[in-house]
Structures are given as structure tokens and as C-alpha cells.
Amino acid sequence: MLWKRFLPDLVAMVVALAACPVLLRLLPGRVFRALILGGAALFTAAFVVTLLQAAGLDAAFRWLMLSGVAFGWSLIVIFTTGMGLASRRVIPQRRQLLTTAAMAAPAAVFGYGVFIGRRQFTLKEVDLAIPDLAADLDGLRIAQISDIHLSPFLSRADLQWCVAMANETRPQLAAVTGDLITGIRDSIDDCLEELRHIRADAGVFGCNGNHERYIRAEAYTADRAARLGMNFLRARQTTLQFGSAKVNLAGIDHEDNRWNYAADTKGLMRSGEFNLLLNHNPDMFPHIAKQGWDLALSGHMHGGQINLELANANFNVAKFSTPYVYGTYREGRSAIYVTRGIGTIGMPVRIGAPPEVALIRLRRGPSTPALQAL
């Protein structure tokens, strides 16, 4: 169903390219012309590369995220062209007001994302139907916190708020799915000191994200967490008992090698138990599903962080690197929940993708196709 995944992007590309000649007339000058034509070439090339990568023809393009920048360019072209055409239809006295409004609107939206949207923490409750779920696991509550990115843009007080939100759900199991910090100057110790206050009957378990790997702190994080009573699983599993039912809980460090996805999960599954995997990167879900995992919990994509929803279609940068951006996805009998997380990366802004603490409730039921949130 490749065409469905990229139909919104294709429409945006066609509209933006069609708008370029109009915009060139509205904004004369060499600089504007270079920006518009250069952006058009970049977006077209990036879109083609995205299609190739999605089709499995070239999975090694590391600069795929440039397509997200190019996609943003297309939206700006469409918006600017529309406002430019609209301003030509009004009397000169009002044209300046319209131009000012066109310039102020993006700044207002961005300001909201920085000062309000970034800290608008929500509790996302998800009832997840699992086929043939053991009766003693029906209603099992799992609290998930991910992509914390404790840094100048997410304080310990913010994290304390999210921990309290998780505790209010009275979870039976708690999962931390990676990216405790952003960079080497951020304190993993401070983050773990706050996470230790999560209360869950079976305990707090976690996995490392790509930012722990970037600063080579995966072993340190697991060791420090263990000293504080938490268990970060690094290609390991443990068995949890809930009544007469057993949960095989496993975790792995972040993986991004598309040629060898899910290599660390081999041998971690247990027959006759509910197999639950904590992994930071949701892009490996098809490989996890082939192995037969019942459920995976992931993060990493921040729900796009800046997401624009138009006509039931979502536009964001993250979807250029994976189809698993936010929400519940299914493949066969396997399911994955991808949380938006609570922190930010790059720009300290969230628009259309509010930060969340997730509460997943397992429910016994048939496997049904999930609606992809993004």
C-alpha cells in the first residue's frame, strides 16, 4: 500500500511545484528565484529518494531526513503563494495588513509550540486488543514514558510532573523506552533519580535509545538504573508473573541498521508466555512481527513533533524516515504502540503532537486493523 502512505506527500509536491511559476511572478528577484527553484529541485529529489527507500531499493541513504526539510519548503511555498494571490485581490490600503498577518501567523504558531505546546503534557490511554490473551493479563496496565530528553528544554520539574501522572494510573508495569537525555552535557543521573519514583507493581523496566548510544552511556545507564532499583534490559529478558500468566519481558538497545534489524531479539522469546519487547526504534516492527512478538513498545519519533493535520492526512518530518510515527500498528498477530514521548529534539517546539505519558491496557480480543495516528 505504498501509494497510500505517500499520497499526501505527492499531492503537496505537485501543488508546490505548480505554484512555483506563480510565486516567481509574485516575488521577483534573483535571490527569491534561487530559493524557489533550488527548493523545488531538492524536494523532488528527496521525494524520489524516499520512494526508493520505502520500496527497499536503497536503505542506506543517511540524508533521508532532508526530505522533511524539503517537505516543509513545499508547505511554505503553498502558503506564501496563497497569501500572495489573496493580497492582490484586496485594495492597496488593506494589502499591507494582509501581508503583516501572513508574516505574523507562522511566528504565532511557532511561539505557541515553544511556550505552550512543548509543556502541554497529556495522559494517553490506549486499550490494546490482543488475540488469545491470557485471562489474568486482561486489563494489565502498563505505563510508558519515553524520549524524555532531560535538558535545558525539559526540566526535572517537568519530569516530576510526568512521573506523577504515570503514578496516578496505578500501573502494574512501567516501561521507559529510551532517550533519557539529549547530549553529553545532560545528566543521566538526574533523569534516573526522577524515574526511580515511578511506582509499578512489577517494577520499572527500560531500554536505551539512540542518544544514550551517541554519548556511549548505554552500560552506564543500565548500571546506574540497577543501583536505583530499575532494570534496563540490554538484549536480555526476564519473566514476570501475573496470576497464572507469565509475561516474557525483553529489551534491546537502539538499533538503526536496516540491514540487520532485530538481530538482538533472536533467542529472547519464550514459548507459552506473552512476549513483550521494549525497543526504542519502531522502524524495526516488521522484523519483530516476523519473529512473533505479541507486543512492542517504542518511541523515538516524537509523533513528528511538528505535525500538520489536513483532511485526515498528517504531514510531518518523521514520516519520511518510517511509517511508524505515532499510535498503534499491527502486522499479523503482532502489535506495536509508538508513543510521542515527552521531550523534544532539534527545535524545542511541539505543534500538533503534544507530549504524552501513555497508559496501555491489555484487552483480550480479536486482532483488528489499527488506525494509524500519523
- Read off the pLDDT of each residue in 338-364 and give the average, rounded to a whole number: 93
pLDDT higher than threshold 80 for residue 99: no
The rounded mean pLDDT for the chain is 81
Query: What letters, b where the CB count within 10 A reaches 16 and e where it falls short, cover 317-344?
Result: bbbbbbbbbbbbbbeeebbbbbbbbbbb
Closest CA to 172 of 144, 197, 140: 140
pLDDT at position 319 is 79
The CA distance from 208 to 280, in Å, is 7
pLDDT higher than threshold 70 for residue 106: no
Share of the chain above pLDDT 70, in %: 69
CA atoms within 13 A on the CB side of 270: 17
Q: Between the ranges 11-15, 59-63, 95-99, 200-204, where is the mean pLDDT highest?
A: 200-204
Tens-place pLDDT, residues 181-208: 998 889 999 999 999 999 999 999 999 9
pLDDT at position 365 is 85
pLDDT at position 245 is 97
- pTM of the predicted model, to two decimals? 0.76
**Confidence class for position 1, pLDDT limits 50, 70, 90:** very low
Share of the chain above pLDDT 90, in %: 53
- Read off the pLDDT of each residue in 140-147 and give the average, rounded to a whole number: 98
Locate the domains of the chain by residue range.
2-115, 122-364
CATH number of 122-364: 3.60.21.10
Q: Which residues pair with 176 in a beta bridge?
A: 145, 206
Q: Characterise 40 by phi-psi region: left (phi > 0), alpha (psi -120 to 50), beta (else).
A: alpha
pLDDT at position 338 is 98
Return the SS3 of 334.
strand
pLDDT at position 88 is 57
Q: Rounded to whole angstroms, what are the CA distances from 216 to 35, 107, 199, 211, 230?
A: 39, 37, 28, 8, 20
The CA distance from 79 to 318, in Å, is 21
The CA distance from 232 to 175, in Å, is 9
pLDDT at position 10 is 61
Lowest model confidence (mean pLDDT) among 35-39, 212-216, 258-262, 323-327: 35-39
The CA distance from 225 to 61, in Å, is 35
Q: Rounded to whole angstroms, what are the CA distances from 105 to 91, 98, 111, 229?
A: 21, 11, 10, 48
Tens-place pLDDT, residues 30-66: 655 666 666 666 666 656 655 554 444 433 333 334 4
- Read off the pLDDT of each residue in 123-151 and give the average, rounded to a whole number: 96
The sign of the dihedral angle between the CA atoms of 15, 325, 38, 101 is positive
Q: Which residues pair with 239 in a beta bridge?
A: 248
- Read off the pLDDT of each residue in 11-34 and give the average, rounded to a whole number: 62
Tens-place pLDDT, residues 288-345: 999 999 999 999 999 999 888 776 777 787 877 889 999 999 999 999 999 999 999 8
Closest CA to 211 of 263, 280, 308: 280
**Confidence class for position 258, pLDDT limits 50, 70, 90:** confident
pLDDT at position 314 is 77
Return the SS3 of 244.
coil
C-alpha cell recorded at residue 26: 509574485
- Read off the pLDDT of each residue in 257-284 and give the average, rounded to a whole number: 90
Residues in the chain: 374
Q: Scanning the structure block, which residue is given the C-alpha cell 538484549?
A: 235
